[in-house]
Amino acid sequence: MVKNTNQHPDPFTEITRREHAITQADIKSHGWQPALVASQKRQDAIANLIVSSVSGGIACHAGCWYCCYFKVDVHAEEVFRIVDYVRAKFSPARVAQLQEDVATNTKTLQALSTQGQLTANLKCAFLDNGQCSIYEVRPARCKTFHAKDVEGCKKSYEDPNDLSIPSSFIPELLHAGEAHLTGFRQALADADYDTNAYELNAAMAMALADSTPKRRFEKHKKAFVGMVKG
Ligand code: SF4
C-alpha cells in the first residue's frame, strides 16, 4: 500500500511541532527565561481559544477550589518563575508562611505511599481563601485542568479514594496543554536544560531556601537533588 503523504498532521502534533520550533529559536535568541514567559502566554492563548469554544461554557470560576487538593507536578523553570513572583508580590511574613506550608506538605507527602499521595486531598500551599495566590504564574499542569461540570470535581474531592469517578476535565484542553508542553520541553532538552518533573511543595521548599537549584539549572545540571521526582 502506498503511504498517503498528503495527510495533515493532527492538531496536537502540530501544536507540539510549532511550540518546539518557536521555543528553540527563542532560547537561542533570548535565553530560557523570556522563552518560558512567551511560551506560557501561548499556552494561555490556546487554552482561552478552546475554553471559548466549549458549548455551554465551563464550570470553573474564581473561588472554586476542588482541583487544588491534588499533588501537582512541576518543572524546574516553572518553579523559578513562581519564586520570582512570590518574592515580588508577597510580604516577607507571607513568604515565611509559604515556606512553612510547603515544608509541612512535603513532610506529609513523603510519609505517604504513591497511592496515598494521590488520594490525600492535600490542600495546595498556594490556595488562599479559595483562590490561587499565584494564578498568573501557576504551574502549567494546573492550566490544563478546566471542567465542564463541577460535579465530577466535587465527587473526587469528597471521595478521593474512589478512583473510578470519571474526570470532568475538558479532554481537548488537557491534550492541547500536553502537546504544548511537550514541544516546549523538547526545545529545553535540545538546549540541554533539566526537564525532570518534580513535586511542587518539595521543589518550592528548596528553591525558596537558596539559589542553588536555579544556579544548577543554569549550569545545565539537574536542578533539585536529593528529592523525589514528581
Ligand atoms: S498552584 Fe494554584 S491552581 Fe495550582 S493547585 Fe495550587 S492553588 Fe490550585
Residue 68 in contact with ligand 1 by CB distance below 6 A:
yes
pLDDT at 170: 85
Residue 10 maps to a domain = no
CA 28/CA 8 separation, integer angstroms: 29
Residue 124 maps to a domain = yes
Closest atom of ligand 1 to 135 CA is 2
In contact, 117 and 109? CB cutoff 8 Å = yes
Helix (H, G, I), strand (E, B) or coil at 198: strand
pLDDT digits (tens, 9 = 90+) for 39-51: 999 999 999 998 8
pLDDT tier, 148 (very low <50, low <70, confident <90, very high otherwise): confident
Helix (H, G, I), strand (E, B) or coil at 30: helix
Residue 2 maps to a domain = no
pLDDT at 7: 62
The best mutation among 90, 124, 146, 199 to test binding of ligand 1, ranked by most ligand atoms within 8 Å of the C-beta, falls on 124
pTM: 0.91
- State which residues form the domain around 107: 27-218
Number of domains in the chain: 1
Residue 81 maps to a domain = yes
Residue 138 maps to a domain = yes
168: amino acid identity, one letter: S
Q: How many CB atoms lie within 10 A of CB 175?
A: 16
Residue 38 maps to a domain = yes
pLDDT at 167: 75
Residue 13 maps to a domain = no
Residue 79 maps to a domain = yes
